[in-house]
């Protein structure tokens, strides 16, 4: 079954990988890149994962990693734009989930994804903890095979998450 939710169509994102279109277990979501649509999409993805017999820990990891990635796109790649195009394609295998996130926003600084080092927090009071820096640590910690590339059409970020079934 293929799920396709589209609230915004952007030809600038280019075609999705052929493997994502041809597999019955794949999901594709295309939407306007704002925090509200990110939440709606994350809820729809979680509902799909629940119906595919994934264990709760795997579903939580999928939600956490995708929330960090998508919120970073909205916050940084789209900055003050209200019309950014985002898409998420998920290929679900027996024990791994492969995800492709495309956006037509600004590139990552230096055309490289952050390294995911854990921010130093020893000796820092809770109220003085840094606002950012933990998301990329979590993304690197929970996922594998991370890859970022930039083209004329925008950004492409891919990763895999190990999954277990109930």
Rounded to whole angstroms, the Cα distance separating 111 from 109 reads 5
**Which pTM value belongs to this model?**
0.80
Domain that holds residue 130: 3-162
Residues in the chain: 166
Residue-level pLDDT at 19: 35
DSSP the chain: --EEEES---GGG-PPPHHHHH-TT-EEEEEE-SHHHHHHHHHHHHHHHHTTTB-HHHHHHHHHHHHHHHHHIIIIISTT-S--EEEEEEEE-SSEEEEEEEE-SPPPGGGS----PPPP-TT--GGGS-SSSHHHHHHHHH-EEEEEEEETTEEEEEEEEE--B-
| Whole-Å CA distances, 37 to 23, 31, 69 | 25, 7, 14
Rounded to whole angstroms, the Cα distance separating 78 from 34 reads 9
Residue-level pLDDT at 135: 84
List the CATH number of the domain containing 129. Answer: 3.30.565.10
Residue-level pLDDT at 94: 86
pLDDT 10s digit of each residue in the chain, 166 long?
Answer: 233 333 333 334 444 333 333 355 689 999 999 999 999 999 999 999 998 889 999 999 999 999 999 999 999 999 988 889 999 999 988 899 999 999 999 999 999 988 877 766 666 666 665 565 678 889 999 999 999 999 999 999 999 999 988 8
Q: What angle do CA 49, 53, 56 make, to 5 degrees?
A: 70
Split into its structural domains, the chain has a count of 1
Query: Would you state the structure tokens that stand for residue 126, as one six-digit string?
Result: 């809770």
């Amino acid at each position: 079954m293929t799920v396709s939710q589209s609230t915004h169509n952007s030809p600038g994102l280019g075609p999705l990988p052929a493997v994502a279109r041809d597999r019955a277990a794949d999901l594709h979501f295309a939407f306007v890149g704002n925090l509200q649509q990110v939440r709606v999409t994350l809820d729809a993805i979680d509902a799909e994962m629940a119906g595919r017999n994934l264990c709760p820990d795997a579903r939580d990891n999928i939600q956490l990693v995708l929330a960090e990635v998508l919120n970073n796109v909205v916050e940084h790649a789209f900055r003050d734009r209200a019309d950014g195009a985002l898409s998420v394609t998920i290929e679900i295998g027996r024990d791994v989930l492969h995800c492709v996130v495309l956006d037509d926003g600004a590139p990552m600084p230096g055309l490289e994804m952050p390294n995911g080092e854990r921010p130093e927090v020893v000796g820092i009071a809770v109220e003085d903890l840094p606002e950012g820096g933990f998301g990329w640590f979590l993304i690197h910690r929970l996922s594998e095979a991370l890859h970022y590339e930039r083209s004329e059409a925008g950004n492409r970020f891919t990763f895999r998450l190990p999954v277990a079934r109930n």
